[in-house]
């Protein structure tokens, strides 16, 4: 009897612990702490804005004119992976070997798909998924 109570107690605690966990998908989570929705090119003054739904990225020049608008995932017909509709959880400038040492906008989706957006035209280059 005592052994059964101990086993049931451990099982109940294990279930409670698992239910309380945040859903985790590799290095990206469904809940994100994105702090920056606007990036500003220090040379051209162009603003790159991620909308509040974390789906669209737009480029606006110094005069306030819309240069381009993109939904990188949909515009490039990237296949569904892990979630029905991914949202951008990482949005920043990058300048590294992945970007051919040119500054680009690095984005990662909550399903771990990732790539870069060319600042000049909004073209998305998909690098893969984790």
What pLDDT does residue 100 have? 87
What pLDDT does residue 10 have? 58
3-state SS class at 92: strand
What pLDDT does residue 126 have? 84
**Sheet with 38-40: strands ordered across:** 38-40, 47-50, 57-60, 66-70
Joined tokens for residue 53: 């739904």
Q: Looking at the predicted structure, is the pLDDT value of residue 13 above 60?
A: no
For the stretch 46-49, contacts whose Cβ atoms lie closer than 8 Å and that sit 24 or more positions apart, written own/partner, are: 46/119, 48/105, 48/117, 48/119
**pLDDT tens track for 101-114:** 899 999 998 888 89
Mean pLDDT, residues 5-9: 60
Which residue ranges form the domains of the chain, and what is each CATH number?
Answer: 25-129 (2.40.10.480)
Residue that wins the pLDDT comparison between 45 and 73: 45
Joined tokens for residue 44: 């051209």
**pLDDT tens track for 83-99:** 888 999 989 999 988 88
Q: Looking at the predicted structure, is the pLDDT value of residue 3 above 80?
A: no
């Amino acid at each position: 009897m005592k052994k059964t109570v101990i086993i049931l107690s451990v099982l109940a605690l294990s279930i409670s612990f698992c239910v309380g966990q945040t859903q985790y998908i590799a290095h990206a989570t469904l809940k994100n702490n994105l702090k920056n929705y606007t990036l500003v090119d220090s040379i051209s003054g162009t603003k790159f804005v991620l909308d509040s739904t974390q789906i669209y990225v737009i480029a606006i020049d110094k005069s306030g004119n819309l240069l381009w608008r993109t939904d990188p995932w949909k515009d490039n017909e990237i296949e569904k992976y892990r979630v029905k509709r991914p949202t951008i959880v990482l949005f920043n400038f990058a300048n590294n070997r992945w970007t051919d040492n040119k500054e680009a906008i690095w984005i990662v989706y909550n399903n771990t798909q990732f790539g870069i957006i060319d600042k000049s035209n909004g073209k998305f280059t998909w690098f893969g998924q984790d």
